[in-house]
């Protein structure tokens, strides 16, 4: 019996997210939980939020403190999401008792299709292949809006960062560039199928000039739509974009999915 119980714990599926500061309110966590619940079949899962403020977060979400990083930003240095590296802290496994597979989702994604496949594809670590730009050679860098790993499996990611903070920040623009390079050199980096995690701004907005009368759409095959750079879900829903001369109509499909 103990062996069966350990196997069950080891096979536990976790949806993992992080909320710190004031950029995103608790409604982002609550809606992410609701979307995961609707789109994850095949048995139970745990929804975990690492956060510095649990106020307003629904009871079904398990909240834990964000593990401390032995690192301080320089004055006026952009955040660049380096805090995400705390997902590789031994605290999750040793202190919080989390064991099994973790699928990390950014708070501002919109889940529109099944999440089961994200737990089923083989590989030690999977991430979005950062979006190709026609004018640039595609890099190995992943987009860390959606990545999967075994809890406790990669403590060296965080260890190396904390021991070489200055070097890492000089070489890499942000945490996802460092993370991708580190695991690529170990032969562990793999990507999601291209269609699963499209970019809203690159793949979900009609081409100019039809963007002035055609609304944004869900790309074919999408499971998680990624919002980065220009607008978040409520902005897109309202037809707002923070780049001048880049118009969008309201993305009304968001209301159907981004809710509790």
| Structural domain for 161, as ranges | 2-191
Contact between 214 and 207 (Cβ < 8 Å): no
As for how many domains the chain has, the answer is 1
Look at residue 203 in the predicted model and tell me its pLDDT. 95
- Which residue, among 71, 97, 199, 84, has the nearest Cα to 147 in the 3D structure? 84
Look at residue 7 in the predicted model and tell me its pLDDT. 36
Biggest CA-to-CA distance, the chain:
64
Q: How many helices (H) and strands (E) does the chain have?
A: 10, 9
**Has residue 254 been placed in a domain?**
no
Look at residue 3 in the predicted model and tell me its pLDDT. 36
**Has residue 206 been placed in a domain?**
no
**Has residue 18 been placed in a domain?**
yes
**Has residue 141 been placed in a domain?**
yes
Check which CATH number belongs to the domain holding 118 and give it: 3.90.550.10
Among the residue ranges 17-26, 209-218, 238-247, the one predicted with the least confidence is 238-247
How confident is residue 11, by pLDDT bands cut at 50, 70 and 90?
confident
**Has residue 241 been placed in a domain?**
no
**Has residue 235 been placed in a domain?**
no
Look at residue 202 in the predicted model and tell me its pLDDT. 93
């Amino acid at each position: 019996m103990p062996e069966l119980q350990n196997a069950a714990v080891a096979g536990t599926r976790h949806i993992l997210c992080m909320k710190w500061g004031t950029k995103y309110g608790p409604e982002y966590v609550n809606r992410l939980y609701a979307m995961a619940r609707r789109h994850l079949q095949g048995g139970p899962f745990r929804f975990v939020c690492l956060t510095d403020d649990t106020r307003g977060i629904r009871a079904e979400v398990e909240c834990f403190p964000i593990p401390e990083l032995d690192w301080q930003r320089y004055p006026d240095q952009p955040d660049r999401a380096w805090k995400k590296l705390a997902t590789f802290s031994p605290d999750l496994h040793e202190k919080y008792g989390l064991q099994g597979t973790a699928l990390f989702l950014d708070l501002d994604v919109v889940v529109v299709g099944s999440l089961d496949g994200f737990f089923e594809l083989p590989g030690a670590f999977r991430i979005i292949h950062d979006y190709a730009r026609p004018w640039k050679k595609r890099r190995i860098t992943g987009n860390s809006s959606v990545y999967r790993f075994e809890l406790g499996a990669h403590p060296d990611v965080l260890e190396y960062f904390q021991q070489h903070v200055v070097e890492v920040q000089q070489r890499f623009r942000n945490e996802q560039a460092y993370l991708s390079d580190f695991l690529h050199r170990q032969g562990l980096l793999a990507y999601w199928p291209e269609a699963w995690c499209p970019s809203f701004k690159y793949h979900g907005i009609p081409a100019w000039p039809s963007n002035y009368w055609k609304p944004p759409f869900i790309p074919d095959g999408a499971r998680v739509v990624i919002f980065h750079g220009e607008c978040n879900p409520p902005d897109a829903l309202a037809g707002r974009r923070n780049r001048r001369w880049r118009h969008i109509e309201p993305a009304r499909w968001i209301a159907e999915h981004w809710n509790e």
